[in-house]
Structures are given as C-alpha cells and as structure tokens.
Structure 1
Amino acid sequence: MNKRHALVSLNIAAFFFGLSGILGKVITTSPAAIVFGRALFAVLALSLLMLGVRGFRWQRISGGSALVVIGASAILAGHWLTFFISVKASGVAIATLGFASFPAFTTLFESIGFRERISLNEILLIVLICLGLMMVCPSFDISSGSTRGFLWGILSGALLALLIICNRITAISIRPVQAALCQNAVICLLMLPFAFHALPQASAGDWFYLVLLGVFCTGVAHSLMVTSLRFVKARAAAVFFALEPVYAILFAWALFGERPTPGMFAGAAVIIFSVTAFSRHDKKAPSPSERQA
C-alpha cells in the first residue's frame, strides 16, 4: 500500500463506519450489548482473515505495546458506547455529526503527543469543519434530547481522537489486523459484564445486524483504518473521516426518511470542501513511513 491507496482505503472505511449509526438505530438491545456484539463478530471476522492469509505469523507484542493496545481497547469501547447512546438519544444524523468534531481533538492531541507543529492550513481546515458542524446542529438547548445526544456524540469524537493517536503508535510495531483483533478481544472482555443480561433478550434480527456491524463496519473498516495510518498522519485520517457523517445522513434519509435540513446540507457541503482541500494539501507532506526512511 502507498499513500494514494491509503486515502482510498480511508474512504472505504468511512463508508462502512457511516453505516454504524444506521445499524445502531435498528438494533433494539442496549448500547452495551451492541458494543459487545460488535466486538465479538469483529474478532471472528478478523480471526478468519488471519487464518486465510498465507504465511501470516502472529507477531510478538512487547509489554509496552500490550499496554497501549489495552488502553486503546478501553478507549474504543468508550467511543462506541457513547456513540450508540447518542444514536438512541438523538438519532443517526445528530449523533454522527456530533462525533464528527473529532478532527479538532485529533489535531490538538497529536500536536501535543508527537510535538508536531500545526500548520495554518490545518487550522483553517479544522475551523471549516467545525463551522460545518455548527451549521447542522438543530439546537443548543441542554434540555433537548437532540442536544444531549449531540454532546454524547462530541464525547465520542474526543475518544475517537485518542484512539487514532494510539493506533498511530501501534501501527509502527504491530501488524494492523493483529492490533484490531487484540483490541476487539479486549473489548469483549470489558463489556461482557455490562451486556450479559441484555444478550438473551436480543432478537434474531438484532443478531443479524450485529453480524453486519461486527464484520463490515468493524473488522473490515477498522483494518483499513489502522493499515492506512502506516502511510498518512493521524490528523489526515481524522479530517478525511469527516465524510462519515455525510454518508450517515444519506443512509438515514434513504432508510428512515430523516430528511436533512437546509443547515445539514450546507454543513455537509462545507465538510466535503474541507476534506477535498486537505487531501490536496496533504500530498505535499511526508507520511510517517516516509519520514522514517
């Protein structure tokens, strides 16, 4: 994979991640059970993928890397949990647009963690994305369910930014598929005590949607995201994933009749413009692998 392929992979991953909110809405069980089921079927899918890859060998993980993986797993579980709480509280579009604020968090966390200077162009693009998100927010009344869901979504975005930073660290020393498998296995263990009582009440339809959520929206999408972080900076991935709410809004409109407001249309246009502009600018910047060469 090269940098161009990494950007394509990020777009495909964003498409699958955009389906997560749709599936989270149609699944009737609790958010904790959704997170557990998502991780469980992701583990199964990734295990089959590893067995099907010729010559794949399990890579030894150092103690330091293992701690990062465990920490990333807890962060990912929190990200999923807060996101599905947001979906249940405010709907697919608002929840997805709330956590889409994560590019700003990612740029801040990455600049602090890796001591990387934030360029003026990156600041401008992040501001444009934040402006787009403000345009789609229906209300800033804390008593409104939509507003509370929006805030849960923002918290989910902050956790996603931390996850991207952790994945950038592990991508250097751990194979992407192996890292994803380990993270989802840890999530299963973390969430089982909270999901145990809700799982027997899940319907056959719930289990079917959990399979889709775990295999495509998690196993495939997560592997593509982690692999891409070998070739692009985390902040590049974060801004590119701003397309995810656009996909989610379109899916919600087509499947549930959640017609976007004019503000949502305008905000989505700003987000798409920002992603396109950043993609052109980032071609001039060296990737992590290029800087190591």
Structure 2
Amino acid sequence: MENSHNKNLSLLLLATLFISTSGVLGKYIALPSEVIILCRASFASVFMYLFCRFKKVNLKIKSRKDFFSFTISGFFMGAHWVTYFIALKLSNVALGMLSLYTFPVITAFLEPFFSKQKLNPIHIFFAILVLIGVYILVPDFSLNNDQLKGILFGILSAFCYALRNLTLKKHIKNYNGSALMLHQMVIVSVLLSPVLFLSDFSNFESQLPFLVLIALLTTAIGHTMMVNSLKHFSISTASIISSVQPIFGIIIAFVFVNEIPSINTFIGGGLILLTVVLESIRIRK
C-alpha cells in the first residue's frame, strides 16, 4: 500500500514537472505567442486523439448545451494560454508563472457567480496577501515597464484560467478527463485558425522540435497524467502539489537559460504561493 502511494505521488510530481516546462518553452520559442498556442493545441489534439482511440475513450458530446459550454471554456483556455505566453515574453519565467498563480484566489472570488456558494471572508485576507505579493514582484509601476506589463498579462491569464475551470467544472463527472482536454484542444485550434493568415510563421521549421515538445510533453502527457492522478488524490492535495510548478519552472529556467530571479521575486512569489497552500489546506480540512 505504501509503495503504491509513493508511486502515485511520484507520478503526480512528474506530471507537475512536465507541465512546468511550459514556462521556459513559452518564453524562448522564437515565434509569436498566438502561433505557439495554435501549434501547441493542434499538435496536442493529434496526440490526444491517438491516445483516446488507443484507450477507447468515448468522445461523443452528449448535448448541444454541453457543446456550447465546451466552446466557451475552450475560448477561455486559449485566452489563458496566449496571455500567459505574452506575459512570459514580456517579463521572465519566474514573474510569468508566479503572476499566473493568482488564479486560486481569483477563482474563490468568481465562484459565487457560478454557484450558490457565498464569498468567504478568509478569501479577502488571501486576496490582500496576493496583492502584497504582486506589489513586491513589480519593479516599477510604469506602463512603459515590460515586467509590469508581463505581470498584468499574467494576472489576466489567471483570470481566464479561473473562468475556464469554473465553466468546465460541472462536466468533470460526466466526461472522461482526456476527452475533455481533447475537445478543448480542438476548440482552441479552430478559434485560433485565423492566425494562419495573420501571423509570422517564418521561424516555424527551426522551432518545430520545441513546438512538438510543448504539445507532447507539457500538454498531452503532463495534463493527462495530472487528470489521471485525481483518481488517487483529492483535488486539494493535487492543488498543493501543483503549487510547486513555479518553483520547478524557476529551477528549469536557471539550469537551461541561466535566468536568475531577484530577491523581490522570491519574497513576492512566496506570498502568492503561501495563499495557494493555505487555501488548499483550508478546503481539505
């Protein structure tokens, strides 16, 4: 039993590590953000379709209402990815990933609009901690500062991600996780298809290996492993463990591209991650 638990925990950590590669890949693939996301979603659609066929996963959408809901959540997923990659390119891996991790508190504030749940006063305290953390992260409150722009795009990405999760939440019990991810990848690909005619693909061939890597390792394998881990861990436990994603991302950026975060990044990021851990522990209790 203990060996099984350790194996499942190791797989969850490995999934978190794989997803964390999005930071470095998103910043350093030499293509516009919208092109990266189109390629990521399109390639991931192929990989996940083959996986679902191999596993004989039911891909049928049960109603028009569900299709509409999937389309809305797919839009938010695409917006989340595009704004996140813009944040990475404007700032750095550490600031981009840490600003994205404001999404748990944003989710807590938005959830009352999607359910009968009332706003908990503790979330106001967490929001204040997050705002302090963001304040410490920002080096200069000027719209001419690319790092501030990056952080703002990161927070916008977190807002879109929270809306995506809240929109998709009601379907988790009725659909296979891999099928949900596949539908989202197809929708993101369709919504971003105009990018084929509007954006610069001049570096496509040289960047193709990295695009395949982010689609296969980060998206198809990483996210599928994360979904499968929920069979063995509660969402709260998975959330606590996934909060190490920015830490993994910072380490990967340091090892591969020698990106060294400032002391303000550690302090501000620590406050943001602290709210994630505290909220996850509170829910679990």
CA distance in 1, matches of 2:123, 2:240: 9
Seen in structure 2, the aligned counterparts of structure 1 residues 8 and 140 have a Cα distance that, compared at 3 Å, is farther
Partner of 2:139: 138
2:42 is equivalent to residue 43 of structure 1: no
Contact 2:57 2:176 in 1 (8 A): no
Pick the aligned partner of 1:17 from 16, 19, 29: 19
Q: SS of 1:223's equivalent?
A: helix
- 5+ long unaligned stretches in structure 1: 285-293
Q: TM-score, normalised by structure 2?
A: 0.84
CA distance in 2, matches of 1:84, 1:267: 20
Which residue does 1:176 correspond to in 2?
Answer: 177
Is the 8 Å Cα contact of residues 90 and 145 (structure 1) preserved in structure 2? yes
- How far residue 37 of structure 1 moved from its aligned partner, in angstroms, is 0.6
How many Å separate the matches in 2 of 1:116 and 1:145?
A: 38
Q: Structure 2 vs 1, CA of residues 151 and 276 (structure 1 numbering), >3 Å: closer, same or farther?
A: closer
- Name the structure 2 match of 1:219: 220
Give the Cα–Cα distance (whole angstroms) in 2 for the partners of residues 66 and 6 of structure 1.
33
Relative distance call for 1:280 and 1:83 in structure 2 (3 A) is: closer
Give the length in aligned residue pairs.
280
After TM superposition, the structure 1 = structure 2 runs for residues 1-293 of structure 1, keeping only pairs within 5 Å, are 12-53=14-55, 55-196=56-197, 198=199, 200-225=201-226, 241-284=242-285
Alignment root-mean-square deviation, CA: 3.1
Deviation per CA, 1:187-206: give whole Å up to 9, x if none: 11111211346575234441
Is the Cα–Cα contact under 8 Å of residues 29 and 198 in structure 1 kept in the other structure? no
Whole-angstrom distance in 1 between the partners of 2:226 and 2:109: 20
Tell me if the contact between 2:15 and 2:226 (Cα under 8 Å) persists in the aligned partners. Answer: yes
C-alpha deviations, 1:163-187, integer Å up to 9, x for none? 1112212212222111111110111
Letter in structure 2 aligned against 1:68: S
Amino acid of the residue matched to residue 183 of structure 2? C
Shift of 1:282: 2.8
TM-score (norm 1): 0.82
Structure 2 portions without partners, runs of 5+: 1-5
Q: 1:52 to 1:221 in 2, by over 3 A?
A: same
CA distance 1:170–1:19, change in 2 (3 Å): same
Shift of 1:238: 6.4
Residue 69 (structure 1) shift: 0.5
Q: Percent identical across equivalent pairs? A: 25
**CA separation of 1:223/1:247 partners in 2, compared to 1, >3 Å: closer, same or farther?**
same
